Structure 1
Amino acid sequence: MNLVRCPNGHIYSTRTHGHKCPYCNNVVENGTKNGPGTSRKMQTVSQTQNNDGDGDVRTTAYWDDKAGSDQVVGWLVCIEGPQRGMDYRIRPEKNFIGRSEEMHIHINGDNSISRRNHAVISYNPMERNFFLIPGGGVGLVYQNNEAIYSPVELAAYDVIQMGHSKFVFVPLCGMHFDWDSDDKDNKDVREPG
């Protein structure tokens, strides 16, 4: 299946729709497949006018213009379940979790995890915090054995349960470090030696 992601985050098949996103009409050039191991960095996009013809140019994702914005900000590590020992990279902004290859965090093997959008982990680079957000899937999401029904802030080493799998949350970025900060802002990071 030839799936690509447009700059607005829509995923669609190039076999069916060519290089034009059926949701926002952006034209994706030199698209890359969306799947495990692919970068979130956006493809080159032709700007298109809104359908109402007012001449406004569509907005593209902000990480499209920022160099190095695809850097890891944390990890989920499976500690129980079919993927025990597997780690999943968390990127800036929203990370959709599910079994589908279209998800940012694609978890195989646990059929009790929803195919799409079981949960979302979001990193806000401006506030330097992480949130766990229940998704639109049927299954519940647990943080430290408590079911969550609305967004909750994540702390280092929180245990997240989805389906029959448990994951430990390991942040890299936060108050002590962030990729976009000046070196003086990362003062708590120790140099070796």
Structure 2
Amino acid sequence: MKLTKCEQGHFFDADKYPACPYCNTDLQTETAIVQTSEVPAAELAAPDGPVAGWLVVLDGPARGRDLRLGVGRSFLGLDAAGAPATVSPDAPLGARQATVVYDPEADAFTLLPGSSQDLCYLAGQAVLEAQPLTGGEELKLGTATLRFVPFCGGGFRW
């Protein structure tokens, strides 16, 4: 291995590349150290356990579909087609646009901001801090509008 430094300060293997692969991305191949690839799509997953409520898609991609919300945290994001979906707790942080929490001890729902750069909106306002949900609220996730429908609460809880 012949470690070489290019004019821009990048180190590369001159035995493997005729020029800096960082500066000349055409030299990058599947076997190169530097690879550019798409981040894998977030794994979609319905929450474990009993249903605590739903989000129903009113408008946009997947219109008429519902998203099941479980007890505890339900992470929200977008699928490959841009439709709202519940994502796995193991999904990359950039895939989580919002979180709906049902706390059975407090018998209450809360909407939390996600860790994605894309925002979730509640009643037209960006969700930047925890917001209580009681039922009937409209959320915007991507280009879809969703309505929150609680199952737990008002005297019933699992």
Q: Larger RCO: Structure 1 or Structure 2 (Cα < 8 Å, ≥ 6 residues apart)?
A: 2
Question: Which amino acid in the other structure matches residue 153 of structure 1?
Answer: P
- Does residue 84 of the first structure (1) align with residue 63 of the second (2)? yes
Deviation at 1:110, TM superposition (A): 1.4
How many residues get paired? Answer: 109
More strand by share: 2
Indicate the RMSD between aligned Cα atoms, in angstroms: 2.4
- Residue in structure 2 matching 1:136, options 112, 115, 123: 115
Match of 1:11 in 2: none
Deviation at 1:109, TM superposition (A): 2.3
Counting only pairs closer than 5 Å after superposition, residues 80-119 of structure 1 correspond to structure 2 as 80-99=59-78, 107=79, 109-110=81-82, 116-119=95-98
Q: Per the alignment, do residues 35 and 160 of structure 1 end up closer, same or farther by CA in structure 2, a change over 3 Å counting?
A: closer
Q: Secondary structure at the match of 2:95?
A: coil
Q: Per the alignment, do residues 83 and 126 of structure 1 end up closer, same or farther by CA in structure 2, a change over 3 Å counting?
A: same
Overall identity of the aligned pairs, in %: 29
Larger Cα-atom Rg: 2
Mapped to 2, the partners of 1:36 and 1:137 lie a distance apart of 18
Gap runs ≥5 in structure 2: 1-42, 86-92
TM-score, normalised by the number of residues in structure 1: 0.51
Deviation at 1:141, TM superposition (A): 1.2
- Residue in structure 2 matching 1:174, options 143, 148, 153: 153
Gap runs ≥5 in structure 1: 1-33, 41-69, 100-106, 180-193
- Does residue 74 of the first structure (1) align with residue 46 of the second (2)? no
Mapped to 2, the partners of 1:154 and 1:111 lie a distance apart of 22
